[in-house]
């Protein structure tokens, strides 16, 4: 299939499944589309089991594999989704929560990776380095899932900013950590023994380099936009910043996610306030909101269909169920540790830990990273476990975060 045929098919299916959800399920759009896609996939699998000569699932698997989910998300959609998310985060709100966000995006991700790595290795018997890779890809909260679902959760502004801001930054940190562990696990140069210092320098160069590149490109784009007054051209410049900047970051071997988040925050704060007319602001906000909603819907559709390309067995499903419990424990720890460190300096509501634990949703980025793993004997276990954690996170946690927040808010013991 050509790229136009693939895109056309995805748009048609996303629209059709969105209508089904709107008329019958009446769930939040992204979750509803995922559930309809998942149920469709399961129906196809059942039909294929009853009448294998039809071979419907194989045709759909071929279609899904042609999309190259990992490459499409990590090198195509991710830059746009992160930029759209960062564009609508208020810098003033972010500053108030900057220390919890940074601690959860760094120490929190590291804590979660270690807990999941050692726990998963102990339970499944896979080598520790591969279990740590699983920990790195599943620990970060997914900004696509988090920001899309938080809009309807009606959380307090401080909690919403913590969770959304953390998801934008820990994604980039987790991605860099994942790449470092992949390099260690699949290194062909056995004479090279990377030291902790070398790994730390590489990690900082990726993260700091990405942030610096995002600030520079964001400032340059702002300077250009300040000199012109043409809303269609300025929308095009922001689109070029998100897509071109992300590809430049990959070329320069710095963190693309961190780059595009910093650039998005800069344009969303300085650019919208000082570099655009009122008409341009309206068009840019509307354009990126539309991009965000369309790509979110398409991404969740793909997650629902991806079940057809994943091999399930009873043993692997048991490992996946254990992974769900382990990820919740790790998420609880990754929230609790930064809060304990900051407790002497600031107050946190008693509901912060349970809401931030349950609101730390996983999503398509984790699936994409799992799919991008080089072929090895442990990949099926990691991929299936990742998929089960993501489905549980989006469907169960995503649908219950709002009732949980409402319950905690009304429970006098937790006030």
Q: What is the pLDDT of residues 347-378, one digit of tens each?
A: 777 788 999 999 999 999 999 999 899 989 99
What's residue 196's pLDDT? 67
What's residue 414's pLDDT? 39
What's residue 189's pLDDT? 55
What's residue 415's pLDDT? 40
Mean of pLDDT values over 95-120: 93
Residues 6+ apart with CB under 8 A from 402: 152, 153, 154
Residue 187 or residue 21, greater confidence: 21
What's residue 378's pLDDT? 94
What span, in angstroms and rounded, lies between the C-alpha atoms of 8 and 15?
11
Q: What percent of the chain has pLDDT over 90?
A: 54
What's residue 242's pLDDT? 96
Q: What percent of the chain has pLDDT over 70?
A: 93
What's residue 343's pLDDT? 85
Mean of pLDDT values over 333-354: 87
Is residue 34 predicted with pLDDT exceeding 90?
yes
Of these ranges, 205-219, 310-324, 393-407, the one predicted with the greatest mean pLDDT is 205-219
What's residue 55's pLDDT? 65
Helical ranges in 51-97 per DSSP H: 56-67, 69-72, 78-87, 91-96
Q: For tokens 């410049």, what's the residue?
A: 237
What's residue 27's pLDDT? 92
Is residue 117 predicted with pLDDT exceeding 70?
yes
Mean of pLDDT values over 381-395: 95
Is residue 282 predicted with pLDDT exceeding 60?
yes
Helices (H), strands (E): how many in the chain? 21, 0
Span 242-276, pLDDT tens digits? 999 999 999 999 999 999 999 999 999 888 888 88
Mean of pLDDT values over 68-76: 85
Residue 47 or residue 362, greater confidence: 362
- Band (190; pLDDT cuts 50, 70, 90): very low
- Strands (DSSP E) contained in 164-303 are none
Domains of the chain by start residue, with CATH: 69-414 (1.20.1530.20)
Residue 411 or residue 34, greater confidence: 34
What's residue 195's pLDDT? 65
CA 335 to the chain's CA centroid: 17
When the pLDDT of each residue in the chain is averaged and rounded to a whole number, the result is 88
Task: Output b/e per residue, 224-240; b: 16+ Cβ within 10 A.
Answer: ebeeeeebeebbebbbe
Mean of pLDDT values over 185-209: 73
What span, in angstroms and rounded, lies between the C-alpha atoms of 415 and 24?
37
CA atoms within 13 A on the CB side of 188: 1
CA 246 to the chain's CA centroid: 16
- Any idea which of 23-37, 106-120, 128-142, 296-310 has the lowest mean pLDDT? 296-310
pTM: 0.91
- Sort residue 253 into left (φ over 0), alpha (ψ -120 to 50) or beta: left
- Band (413; pLDDT cuts 50, 70, 90): very low
Is residue 380 predicted with pLDDT exceeding 60?
yes
Whole-number Cα distances in Å, 306 to 23, 41, 56, 372, 397: 24, 8, 14, 14, 20
Is residue 187 predicted with pLDDT exceeding 80?
no
């Amino acid at each position: 299939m050509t790229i136009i045929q693939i895109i056309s098919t995805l748009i048609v299916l996303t629209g059709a499944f969105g209508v089904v959800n709107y008329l019958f399920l009446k769930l939040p759009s992204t979750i509803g589309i995922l559930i309809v896609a998942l149920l469709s996939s399961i129906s196809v699998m059942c039909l294929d089991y009853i009448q294998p000569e039809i071979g419907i699932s194989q045709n759909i698997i071929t279609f899904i594999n042609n999309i190259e989910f990992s490459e499409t998300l990590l090198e195509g959609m991710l830059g746009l989704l992160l930029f759209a998310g960062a564009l609508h985060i208020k810098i003033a709100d972010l500053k108030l929560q900057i220390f919890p966000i940074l601690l959860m995006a760094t120490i929190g991700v590291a804590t979660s990776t270690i807990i999941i790595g050692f726990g998963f290795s102990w339970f499944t018997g896979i080598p520790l380095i591969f279990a740590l890779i699983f920990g790195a890809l599943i620990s970060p909260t997914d900004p696509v899932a988090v920001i899309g679902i938080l809009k309807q959760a009606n959380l307090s502004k401080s909690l919403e900013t913590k969770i959304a801001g953390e998801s934008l930054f820990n994604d980039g940190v987790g991605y860099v950590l994942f790449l470092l562990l992949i390099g260690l696990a699949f290194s062909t140069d056995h004479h090279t023994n990377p030291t902790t210092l070398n790994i730390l320098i590489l990690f900082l160069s990726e993260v700091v380099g990405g942030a610096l590149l995002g600030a520079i490109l964001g400032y340059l784009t702002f300077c250009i936009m300040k000199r012109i007054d043409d809303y269609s051209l300025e929308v095009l410049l922001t689109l070029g910043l998100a897509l071109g900047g992300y590809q430049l970051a990959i070329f320069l071997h710095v963190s693309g996610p961190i780059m595009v988040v910093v650039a998005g925050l800069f344009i969303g704060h300085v650019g919208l306030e000082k570099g655009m007319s009122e008409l341009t602001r309206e068009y840019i906000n509307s354009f990126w909101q539309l991009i965000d909603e369309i790509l979110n819907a398409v991404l969740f559709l793909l997650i629902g269909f991806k079940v057809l390309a994943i091999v399930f067995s009873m043993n692997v499903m048991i490992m996946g169920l254990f992974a769900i419990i382990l990820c919740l424990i790790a998420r609880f720890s990754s929230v609790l540790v930064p809060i304990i460190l900051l407790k002497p300096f600031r107050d946190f509501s008693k509901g912060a830990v349970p809401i931030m634990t349950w609101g730390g949703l996983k999503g398509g980025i984790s699936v994409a990273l799992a799919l991008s793993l080089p072929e090895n004997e442990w990949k099926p276990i990691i991929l299936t476990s990742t998929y089960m954690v993501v489905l549980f996170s989006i469907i169960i946690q995503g649908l219950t975060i709002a009732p949980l927040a409402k319950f905690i808010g009304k429970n006098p013991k937790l006030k």
